[in-house]
Amino acid sequence: MERRPWTRWLWLGLPGFAEVALALGARSTRLTPTHADWDSVLAVVDAELAPGDVIWVHPTWSAAPWAELEAIALNKGLARGNVFLHADPVTEADVARFRRVWLLQRTGDAPPQPLRGAVEPRHAGGRLQVHVATVAVGAVATDFLGTLEKAQVERMEPDGGRGAPCRWSGDRQRCEGPFWKDVRVQWTEVGNTRRRCVFAQPHPDRGTLRIRFPAVPLGTRLVGGVGLNLWANRYEEGSDVRFGIAVDGATVYETQLPRQDFTWHTVDVPTTPGAHEVVVSLSADDARWRQACFDLVALEAAP
């Protein structure tokens, strides 16, 4: 069999390729936290974690002892579902709901933003370090994820007529029809990361889903974001989604979520302190698989 000329160079290069692969593997092994590293971290977290705290493993490792960390957190009184920060990047809206952030990192890594408060070391040894950051982004005036139960949700027809209103049942605003019409708070893949947000799919076609929060306290800023979730991006069906926020009838934010757009559109608008009506609206010309998720927090002025 005739040997092709380029195969000789391939065979000559194999030892070099193998050496590089072994070097990269050895470096990865040196950087990977061991069980002993994690045991030391678990002991520190168990000693000082308190209600109002949240744990942020940065960057996220699939091999982190998630079950052990969650067990410690639940035993300390943290609410299930509010134990970890999973978003990447983490925003002010993500951290504002908590008093302190426990940052678990590789030794030598600098604490990431938006941790604006004091960052104090708690542990440094082996391949892991622990810092505790005090959240200093302004007090929460309203957490819209926590007040969805009090919202008035309805689906408007294309001609402006009102559809049947949705009603709170269990853990969601239950609307007539299949489950995907319900408006609810859940963890989902959105903006290329995991977020806890309000799941809302516009329906009917060319109609409008309106989520009205009457007389909610606002501070000086309304922060958060919106995006299409992973399932919406996996399907060809559907059109762009229009998303808007109005305060006392005046639009303060609007954006368009292009079909198969997997980015997180951040919200940061100034507001006047006091009680105000806030209306979130979503619409799409073709509502098939247009599953969106949004997060909003009203913040007081930062100290």
Tell me the per-residue pLDDT of 175-230, one tens digit each, with 9 for 90 and over: 988 888 899 999 999 988 889 999 999 989 999 999 999 999 999 999 999 999 98
Q: Which of 137, 166, 182 is the last residue of a domain?
A: 137
Q: Is residue 269 part of a domain?
A: yes
93-117: per-residue pLDDT in tens? 999 999 999 999 999 888 776 566 7
Residues 130 and 241 in one domain: no
Considering the domain architecture, whether residues 160 and 281 belong to the same structural domain is answered as yes
| Other CB atoms within 10 Å distance of the CB of residue 219 | 22
Rounded to an integer, what distance in angstroms lies between the CA atom of residue 219 and that of residue 302? 10
- Contact assessment for residue 166 and residue 196, using Cβ atoms and an 8 Å cutoff: no
Number of structural domains found in the chain: 2
Does 57 reside within a domain?
yes
- CA-based nearest residue to 201, from 161, 160, 166: 166
Q: Which distant-in-sequence residues (6+ apart) come within 8 Å of 26 by Cβ?
A: none
Residue 283 sits in the same domain as residue 146:
yes
Q: In terms of domains, do 117 and 206 share one? A: no
pLDDT of 43? 96
Are 152 and 293 part of one and the same domain? yes
Tokens of 255: 């954006």
Q: Evaluate whether residue 19 is within a structural domain.
A: no
* Runs of H (alpha helix) within the chain: 5-31, 35-48, 66-75, 92-96, 230-234
269 shares its domain with 257: yes
Q: Report the pLDDT value the prediction gives residue 22, as an integer from 0 to 100.
A: 40
Task: Please check whether residues 86 and 223 belong to one and the same domain.
Answer: no
Q: Would residue 1 count as lying in a domain? A: no
Let me know whether 184 and 267 are in one domain: yes
Asked whether the beta carbons of 141 and 298 are under 8 A apart, the reply is yes
Report the sign of the C-alpha dihedral through residues 226, 229, 233, 236, in that order: negative
- Average pLDDT over every residue of 253-277: 95
The pLDDT confidence band at residue 29, using thresholds 50, 70 and 90, is: very low
Q: What is the pTM of this model?
A: 0.82
Regarding whether 187 and 54 lie in a shared domain, the answer is no
135 class by beta-carbon count within 10 Å (0-12 exposed, 13-18 middle, 19+ buried): buried
* Residue 195, domain CATH: 2.60.120.1060
Residue at which a domain ends, from 84, 114, 137 = 137
Would residue 12 count as lying in a domain? Answer: no
Res 28: pLDDT: 41
Last residue of a domain, one of 121, 137, 153: 137
Q: pLDDT at residue 282 above 90? A: yes
The backbone torsions φ and ψ at residue 200, rounded to the nearest 5 degrees and listed phi first, read -150, 125
User: Using CA atoms, how far apart are residues 145 and 249, in angstroms rounded to an integer?
Assistant: 21
Domain that holds residue 232: 141-299
261 occurs within a structural domain: yes
What are the structure tokens assigned to 201, written together?
A: 């799919």
Q: Give DSSP secondary structure letters for 134-183.
A: E--S--EEEETTTTGGG-EEEEE-TTS-EEEEPEEETTEEE-SSSGGG-E
